[in-house]
Structure 1
Amino acid sequence: MAIPDYQSLMLPVLQLSAEGETKVPIAAEKIADGLGLAQEERDEMLPSGKQRLLHNRIHWAKFYMSKAGLIDTPKRGFFVASEAGHKLLASSPTRIDNETLKRIPEFLEFYQSSGSAASTNEKPAAKAAADADVTPEEQVDAAQAVLNKILRAEILERIRENTPTFFERVIVDLLVGMGYGGSHEKAALRLGRSGDSGIDGVIDEDRLGLDRIYVQAGPVSR
């Protein structure tokens, strides 16, 4: 099954913290067991590869509930349900989300102050995440993926708009940039004329030119 969004994880995170002090990795394993997550789902990473997706969402569920006074952090890395957290659980809620937290004065003050800190139309990450189902890291990774896709398309379009000679030069420069030819000077030599079906460049892998790569760049098709 899919990993629940961080708001859907708030209730189980609070319930676990009501049992005693815990930390994100421990809570993640217990929640994963309860959800019946497969190992590959437990190990799923954010697109950036810097953190497990489940851990990230539990962290933000905990963070927002701490701003609402439902969770305390008695020592570094650990968290536990506060008196207010126990009181909320006693009311047998079926779900806890940001709309629930906005009914708590402490969280509402945090939420509103986060929004007023912006000097432009852009919202700070904390408030933006509170208005969405994804965490700030997920928003950043998604935006980066879109930007990378646009950048790739723009680069390809610019290459297509240039001459074959430019394309051949780009291919040789790209190979050198990828590490072919090492770091020595004059590792690459561009040869031939555009469209002559011959060798377009030579890259010497060593300074003596004993190990060579011959490059032929074909035309860019649309």
Structure 2
Amino acid sequence: MVLPDYQSLMLPLLRYAGVADGEITTNQAVEVLAQELNLTEQDLKEMLPSGTQFTFVNRVGWAATYMKKAGLLEPTRKGYYQITQRGRELLAKQPKVINNKTLEEYPEFLEFKKLKGTRTKNGEEEIKLISDVSTTTPSEALEFAYKNLRDELADELLVKLKAISPAFFERVVVELLVKMGYGGSRSDAGRAIGKSGDGGIDGIIKEDKLGLDVIYIQAKRWDDTPVGRPAVMQFAGALHGQKANKGIFITTSRFTDEARSYVSQIGSKIVLIDGEQLTNLMIENDVGVSTVSLYPVKKIDNDYFDESI
């Protein structure tokens, strides 16, 4: 039979979460929904074009992800989630269907649908809404799909970073900076990071392989508490005490507007890297992530068909 799409799976998945005794996993949901929908073993063996995952498992996973974004489900721990009060209230209305249009009634889902734009010169972000799939070209749909997958990966990566130990976080910082061309060798960088602890400085790293200049590092593995102006001022003061003018302040959280404004007004060159920027840099430099599939996009080679050549 034709497998139901992920939107068709939202209502039965939410119903299952509503009657389950506590938290559930996607694998448990797959087993229950497969029985409810009378799927055969052959149906369940259908793979995505990449051959990396079962299609039905993938669609149940995306149904769960979208309902989490709308606040109908909530994660409880790694790989587990449960229905929320909002989800129970929706089920009480006995909806005939739950789809993306239903989820758009919740502001959190609308926010999720926004593509994170690049920062303008004024520090503001240009926001673009994802177009309805039915109105996009195949190229646009591919770009939107890639962006959604990357954003989901960044979210998962940030959760990982917030859960690891401070020592392991330092190793991540080392790996990233070396991949970006700083610190000379990895052993040099490893010796530099985490050795100072002097007045708001966590480490010192070479700016280039020759060590012509150095960069001072501050790394805070914080959960949701934003880094404010006082912490950045302390770091700037520590740089001044070392007669240095270059620093990188990295956090898994975010920086307040006051902190960013302060950095823009002082003479020292301090780069602030928040959780979102950190995960994007890690993805770009293949730190903590790995490639599972590649989809080459090809076009006609007009020179090949030029008979005059």
The alignment's TM-score, normalised by the length of structure 2, stands at: 0.41
What residue in structure 2 maps to residue 14 of structure 1? 14
1:14-63 CA distance string (max 9 Å, x none):
11111232111111121111111121210111111111111111111111
3-state SS in 2 of match to 1:73: strand
What residue in structure 2 maps to residue 76 of structure 1? 78
What residue in structure 2 maps to residue 40 of structure 1? 42
Distance 1:59 1:136 in 2: 15
3-state SS in 2 of match to 1:50: coil
- Offset of 1:160 from its aligned partner? 11
Cα 1:44–1:13 shift into 2, 3 Å: same
Following superposition of structure 1 onto structure 2, how do residues 150-169 of structure 1 map, counting pairs within 5 Å?
A: 150=299, 154=301, 158=304
Cα 1:104–1:10 shift into 2, 3 Å: same
Q: Does 1:136 align with 2:113?
A: no
What residue in structure 2 maps to residue 91 of structure 1? 93
What residue in structure 1 maps to residue 194 of structure 2? none
What residue in structure 2 maps to residue 64 of structure 1? 66
Cα 1:6–1:136 shift into 2, 3 Å: farther
What residue in structure 2 maps to residue 51 of structure 1? 53
Following superposition of structure 1 onto structure 2, how do residues 110-129 of structure 1 map, counting pairs within 5 Å?
A: 110-111=112-113, 114-115=114-115, 117-119=116-118, 128=130
Amino acid at match of 1:17: A
Amino acid at match of 1:105: P
Q: Does 1:4 align with 2:4?
A: yes
Cα 1:83–1:109 shift into 2, 3 Å: same
Distance 1:160 1:28 in 2: 52
Distance 2:103 2:145 in 1: 18
What residue in structure 1 maps to residue 108 of structure 2? 106
Distance 2:133 2:35 in 1: 26
Amino acid at match of 1:73: P
Cα 1:16–1:131 shift into 2, 3 Å: farther
If asked which structure has higher relative contact order (CA below 8 Å, sep 6+), I would say 1
What residue in structure 2 maps to residue 219 of structure 1? none
Cα 1:131–1:24 shift into 2, 3 Å: farther
- Offset of 1:159 from its aligned partner? 9.7
Moved over 6 A (4+): none
Cα 1:97–1:29 shift into 2, 3 Å: same
1:173-207 CA distance string (max 9 Å, x none):
xxxxxxxxxxxxxxxxxxxxxxxxxxxxxxxxxxx
Amino acid at match of 2:104: K
RMSD: 3.5
The alignment's TM-score, normalised by the length of structure 1, stands at: 0.55
Unaligned residue ranges in structure 2 (runs of 5+): 119-126, 135-140, 150-293
Tell me how many residue pairs correspond in the alignment.
147
3-state SS in 2 of match to 1:79: strand
What residue in structure 2 maps to residue 203 of structure 1? none
What residue in structure 2 maps to residue 201 of structure 1? none
Distance 1:136 1:33 in 2: 29
Amino acid at match of 1:132: V
- Offset of 1:11 from its aligned partner? 0.5
